[in-house]
Amino acid sequence: MTAITEIGAAAGKIWTYLEKNGASSVTKITTETGLGKNDVQRAIGWLAKEDKLAIELKGRVETLSLK
């Protein structure tokens, strides 16, 4: 699998997770999807560039949800 394919797969996994579970912290997404921190960060970038994510800072916790 190429790096781009891996990032796309991780983005899909995060999309599916958020669709099922709603807004979640980056830490929770990382833990519950089993993805590595770097993969999660790259996938967040991918989804954000595609304008698919709402990113909200609540206190010190960054929360992601689907737009």
| pLDDT single digits (tens) 47-60 | 999 999 999 998 99
The answer for residues whose C-beta is within 8 angstroms of residue 16's C-beta and 6 or more apart is none
pLDDT digits 0-9 by tens, 9-19? 999 999 999 99
- Tell me the whole-structure pTM to 2 decimals: 0.90
| Dist CA 63 CA 5 (whole Å) | 25
The token duo for 28 is 């929770």
Phi, psi (rounded to 5 degrees) for 42: -65, -40
